[in-house]
Amino acid sequence: MPNHSPAPLLVLIGFMGAGKSTLGRLLAAQLACPLVDLDEEIARIHGAIPSLFAARGESGFRAIEHYHLDLILPPLARPSVLALGGGAFLQEANRDLLAHHGATIVFLDAPFEVLYARIRGTAHQRPLAADRDRLCELYAQRRPTYLLAHHRFDASAEDPSALLTSLVQLANRLGIRTPARDKL
């Protein structure tokens, strides 16, 4: 059986409000490749994530998250962008799964105050965002694991254009090519 190397996979990780979903959409559009947003996929199948948290607790949600990540990864036969929820990369089983599939992990980093300003008032959509002090503790707990990523980019700017340019350049180096523009 021939040995096929996996298609390049760029995975965006980071805390709530870092821009994983937004930058993922912009990046995938720029690269003309698929975007898989794990949280959106879970919500499409199971319903709203806050409802899942309420019904199954965080550990139940993390089990669903791992299950869907495991389902999503093997079929990715072409270069793709994957946006993970803020807690997905924290699970060692998920990190192992991503490593097994040769994923390149990109940490979108920003100071807590910047992220909090972006997500303030979204507790109805983000179950863990209801308590600012708890959220700050969560940020401090998660950041060391995010720093295990292969690449780290500053995501604190309001205008994502410079960050998008840097991500496109990284994707191109990984073999996810920007489509050729029509010549005039």
pLDDT digits (tens, 9 = 90+) for 60-111: 999 999 999 999 987 777 899 999 999 999 999 999 999 999 999 999 999 9
Q: Is 125's pLDDT higher than 70?
A: no
Element (H, E) at 49: helix 49-72
Which whole number is the average pLDDT over 22-49? 94
Residue 128 CB partners (closer than 8 Å, separation 6+): 16, 58, 86, 87, 134, 135, 138
Q: In which element (H, E) is residue 27 found?
A: helix 20-31
- Closest listed residue to residue 23, CA positions, set 183, 176, 168, 179: 168
Please, what are the domains in the chain?
9-174 (3.40.50.300)
Look at residues 67, 52, 29, 31 and name the one whose alpha carbon lies nearest to residue 125.
52
Percent of the chain whose predicted confidence (pLDDT) is above 90: 70
Mean pLDDT, residues 168-184 taken together: 75
Residues 6+ apart with CB under 8 A from 32: 178, 179
pLDDT tens by residue, 143-155 = 999 999 999 999 9
